[in-house]
Amino acid sequence: MFDLFKKTKKIISPMSGRTIPIEEVNDEVFSQKMLGTGIAIIPNEGKLCAPFDAEVVQIFETRHSYILRADDGLEALIHIGINTVELAGEGFESYVKEHQKVNAGEVLGTVNLDLLKKKGYCEQSPIIFVNGDTFKFDFKYLDVKAGKTLIVNYCRK
């Protein structure tokens, strides 16, 4: 699938749980790839790690989503849970600041998954590659550990 002469890069899982195809997310904005291609995690732990060496481009003020940019220009939107903007920050903690450089595996923040579920929110957490058009991806669907398990190989087209 990948050209040997192009450099393949790795993305590790930002959360522990299980990865699923983006098409299976219970929200058409994500499943129909309106925001771009990607992969989703069904988390079983609330820790969120950086999936690659990155600059933190944006943390939404409710701390339920992060935008990260890799050195090669790949931009990822990590969205914790579905419709969780409505929680207005309740249950979310963040340990990093915008424009901060982070290393793959570094803890970015936490989410209280019990609270999410108690309030009736779906915990599926999509990672969307918003400028994914210029990259090729190989997604891995499996049980994953935050900051450890490889979930995506990618390279420039």
Q: What minimum distance in Å lies between the beta carbon of 133 and another protein? A: 11
Active site residue 79: yes
| Closer residue to another protein in complex, CB, 3/86 | 86
Half-sphere exposure of 114 (CA within 13 A, CB side): 0
- How many helices (H) and strands (E) the chain has is answered by 2, 14
- 7 burial type by CB count under 10 A (0-12 exposed, 13-18 middle, 19+ buried): exposed
Cβ-based nearer residue to another protein, 16 or 65: 65
Q: Select which of 54, 79, 108, 123 is catalytic.
A: 79
Which residues are 75's β-sheet partners? 69
Footprint on this chain of another protein (rule: CB under 8 A) = 27, 29, 34-36, 57-58, 60-61, 65, 67, 75, 77, 79, 83, 85-86, 88, 130
